[in-house]
Structure 1
Amino acid sequence: MSSSNSITVQILDKDYSIMCPQEERSNLVSAARYLDGKMREIRSSGKVIGADRIAVMAALNITHDLLHKQEVAEVQTSGSTREQVRDLLERVDVVLAADPNERQS
């Protein structure tokens, strides 16, 4: 990759130069800002000291949030699928219960 594919982001007052395709730059900048915000929240709480520990705690918090959102999405998808199956079964029941002469029309 050429240097034109490098972007510098700042996380917790430190610059990081990262190789990144042009089309992914805005996503990388957004991710860096999000991480920076989470790390600053943790640092300002005063409960965690040291950039490495703050980074690990931020990573754990972000990962926890991501996994929780995935679980919620899976439950919602599963519920939606069950509803669709129930609806289809009800339709089949209605058709099967109908007079056979009506089905031929």
Structure 2
Amino acid sequence: MSIQRHPVAVSILGKEYKIICAENEQNDLIASALQLDHQMRAIRLSGKVSGGERVAVLAALNLSVELQQSKKNSSPDSSSLSSRLNKMYLKIETALKTV
């Protein structure tokens, strides 16, 4: 049986992105987009960084650091979770490249 893939609309800093993903990954994608939006808004509101691209890079870097730290602290049983987080990270990174 093939996995059904559907477009999911997410909003990041007021811009809408449509990302195609498997139905069972939609909730994770939406949650990741919300987390990214929150990170980017916090960085922008700090006033220390200007420009959408720089904000996006810093937010992606912050999330990457969190991912790396969680990998170091994860147990062998959580390899599935790490794999899913990596997939979500790649999807977000791909979506940001269109900014």
State the TM bucket, normalised to the shorter chain. 0.5 to 0.7
Give the fraction of aligned pairs with identical amino acids, expressed as a percent: 41
Which contiguous aligned blocks of 4+ residues in structure 1 show a shift greater than 3 angstroms?
A: none
The SS at the match of 1:5 is strand
**Distance (Å, rounded) in 1 between the aligned partners of 2:23 and 2:73:** 33
> What amino acid is the match of 2:31?
S
> What amino acid is the match of 1:42?
I
User: Runs of 5+ in structure 2 lacking a partner?
Assistant: 76-99
> What amino acid is the match of 2:47?
G
**Distance (Å, rounded) in 1 between the aligned partners of 2:66 and 2:22:** 27
Matched, 1:29 2:37: no
How large is the Cα RMSD of the aligned pairs? 1.5
Q: Which aligned pairs between 1:1-105 and structure 2 lie closer than 5 A?
A: 5-73=6-74
Structure showing the higher strand proportion among its residues: 2
The SS at the match of 1:49 is coil
| Length, aligned pairs only | 71
**Distance (Å, rounded) in 2 between the aligned partners of 1:21 and 1:72:** 28
> What amino acid is the match of 2:41?
R
The SS at the match of 1:24 is helix
> What amino acid is the match of 2:19?
I
Greater Rg by CA: 1
User: Runs of 5+ in structure 1 lacking a partner?
Assistant: 75-105
